[in-house]
Structure 1
Amino acid sequence: MERIFDEASWRKYVSGYTFYDCAILSEHEFGFILVEERDSWDDDDDRAPMTRFVAIDIDEPIERRFRGAQTGAFSGTTIAASEQPRAYVAVDSASKVHSIEPERSGDERAIDRVLDMSIGNGMLGTVRKAVRAAGKIYALGIHRKIYRRIGVDQWIEFGAQGNGVPMPADLTSQPDFIYTLGFNDMSAFSKNDMYAVGGEGDAWRFDGEQWHQCSIPTAAKLTTVCCAGNGLVYITEQKGSVWEGRADRWQKVTGKQLPAGFYPVDSVWFNNRLYLGTQCGIFTLDKKRGKVVDLKEAEEDAPDPANSGRLDLSEDGRFLLTVGPYGACIHDGTTWCRLFSALDFS
């Protein structure tokens, strides 16, 4: 494969930064979040690290291949991609939005400037993750809030349509729900069959009209959910335990195994396998052994942690993209291929 970056484009878009998240539109189109890297910070410099947004179309000649922007105003940013409309949308924890579309790119109005994100006692909700589910882009947050993007500068909250996720009637302590209630991930079989998880055992299913709490017998922190091609749903706990089931029938298929730093942040079903993405590489479910294992135990050509970790699946399900702090790889259903790596420019 022809190199995606040359020396000049690598210096312009990547040097001094590490990759944090990724999104895929097609085999040749990708979006990335990068965060400024420093060996040490000046005690007098209390500014937040800079964030970069980079979209790549490798079918274009190198002078038109990249679209990017940089800001110091974003923090804890995640990215998702959708086909209709065709766009990458990045959302940070404070609900600020940046999008890259064929005809435009740039910052949009923050979600809290578009609709009311207040959650009581003068507090504003925060966003934990941007995801694509059933072809739409959502921002997930505390207080069991789910926001759907309907266009540039346009978002709608599930609850505004009368079908939001209910809160406990006996909730008395506002800070409690920041840690125990709210969503880290969402996945869907269809717009009428979606799952959202987070908090301490906080798992819910949407049937197209209302949300139903899933009776999973755990109070552990839930980090990812995946509606898999085998018709089952997989939910991960923070330390690596995996639950398998659907609706109100669940069983734990692995125990806690992963140390801090290896907690699942993405889960994807691809090639009849559950992939778990972390900030330190990719793991997979070995159901026969009842374990979560390093992907290299199942796939000899699996990428190393420097070039893998965060995951995104193309909307047609044909390509799996992963990015690590120093590079990215893609799986086409047959083999892994390295797209680029910092080693190419060392």
Structure 2
Amino acid sequence: MISSADFSKQLLGYNIVDCVVRSRDKFYFLAREDYTQWTDWEDVGRYPDDTALTLRVISDFSFKPKDSQWGHATLTGFDIANAAVSLKPKEQLVVSSISGQIYAVGSGEAGMEDSILKQTRGGVFKLKTISDKLYAAGGQRTVGFREQKNNWHWHSESIPFNKEQDSRISGFDDLDGFDQDDMYAVGGMGDVWHFNGGLWRRVDFPSNLYLETVCCGGDGRVYISGYEGHTFVGRGDTWKKVKTKEHISLAFKDMVWYEDRVWCTNDSGVWWIVGDKLVKADIPAFAQISAGYLSARDGVLLLAGFYGAAYLENGQWHQIFSYGEMVDRCKAEGLYDGVLQARWHELKD
């Protein structure tokens, strides 16, 4: 587990909004200021914009000595953010905001890159690693990949989009691929498209539910999920609904393939897809409370959310932290007096 001192420096007063496995000994967490912990937040009568809240890119490098294992960079002006790993031209973590800001760190570099906002049709909703490239999915059927620093290639011109007719129903909120010549992009109201290496084609999908996530599984099939966790499995134009007895009130934030199954999560829990059925994941309680975001790479599954973080490796779960337990430890050790600063007045000034 993280030490109390490191927790107080890195995570106290912040909410995790994404997590990424760069390698089995390099984890990242995106964490945003939790304004509800400010002493003066209820006095103002409104909520701060995400751009007014600092975003931390927190690194957990287990190969380093304990006193230098944890660190963070602070980003300002980032609204809704997500991250993924780029392997070419060098291995880096890349963070984007919905409005197209880009930050990259790794392989001896760290810093902001040129905004991609003017290159996209809509906001950037998801970054995803497919083969060795970093892809972006965005509104109004935006798809592109990062060739190198400040250089992106966009597929969007190859994907039909009529602003007057398609704005309400179109994607994309997520994408995934078996490789760069076999990709699926999803979003909007049943808006699913497939890329075969040369052409993008709209898939005959059997539902007009709002779609949020897609996972190209290790079993050669595609899993697509949306409103209230309703999930479909198939490929091409052949799909069927995944059965479940669970009532899921929220769409999944992440779906990933790990070992022999699809893992799904949102703020309220973690699920598996096994035998074409969606079932509650049988995992330890400390892992269940870490629900929110998922990342799988290099033999490791990382799970993190508002209440904690944990990872699975070689069949063994390991707790990184429980937020509530760490706050209590920080108080007991004199690292936290239960009061965070009055940030609202600082923002207003």
Q: TM-score, normalised by structure 2?
A: 0.84
Structure 1 gaps, min length 5: 120-124
Q: Partner of 1:25: helix, strand, or coil?
A: strand
Pair 1:129-2:126 in alignment: yes
Counterpart of 1:122? none
Post-superposition offset of 1:308 = 2.6
Q: Return the match for 2:241 from 246, 249, 252.
A: 252
Structure 2 gaps, min length 5: 329-349
Counterpart of 1:99? 104
**Structure 2 CA distance, aligned partners of 1:198 and 1:287?**
25
1:267 partner letter: M
Instruction: Kindly provide the CA deviation profile for residues 250-296 of structure 1, in whole angstroms up to 9, marking residues without a partner as x.
Output: 11123695444x311111121212111212221122446x4x3321x
1:150 partner letter: E
Conservation of the 8 A alpha-carbon contact between 1:303 and 1:336 = no
Counterpart of 2:342? none
1:331 partner letter: L
Q: Return the match for 2:198 from 185, 209, 219.
A: 209
- Count matched residues: 319
Q: Partner of 2:58: helix, strand, or coil?
A: strand
Pair 1:146-2:143 in alignment: yes
Cα 1:246–1:149 shift into 2, 3 Å:
same
**Structure 2 CA distance, aligned partners of 1:284 and 1:49?**
34
Pair 1:87-2:92 in alignment: yes
Q: Return the match for 2:279 from 288, 293, 318.
A: 293
1:313 partner letter: A
1:231 partner letter: G
Counterpart of 2:80? 76
Q: Partner of 2:224: helix, strand, or coil?
A: strand
Instruction: Kindly provide the CA deviation profile for residues 278-335 of structure 1, in whole angstroms up to 9, marking residues without a partner as x.
Output: 12221122446x4x3321xxx2436444323201110x4x211111113211111412
Identity %: 28
Pair 1:14-2:11 in alignment: yes
Counterpart of 1:43? 44
Post-superposition offset of 1:209 = 0.6
1:102 partner letter: S
Conservation of the 8 A alpha-carbon contact between 2:192 and 2:205 = yes
CA root-mean-square deviation? 2.2
Post-superposition offset of 1:187 = 1.0
Aligned ranges 1:1-346 → 2 under 5 Å: 3=1, 5-39=2-36, 40-43=41-44, 46=48, 48-84=52-88, 85-112=90-117, 116-117=119-120, 119=121, 125-159=122-156, 164-168=158-162, 172-173=164-165, 177=167, 179-254=168-243, 258-260=247-249, 262-287=250-275, 290=277, 292-295=278-281, 299-301=282-284, 303-314=286-297, 316=298, 318-342=299-323, 343-346=325-328
Q: Partner of 1:218: helix, strand, or coil?
A: coil
Q: TM-score, normalised by structure 1?
A: 0.85
Cα 1:257–1:200 shift into 2, 3 Å:
farther
**Structure 2 CA distance, aligned partners of 1:58 and 1:311?**
19
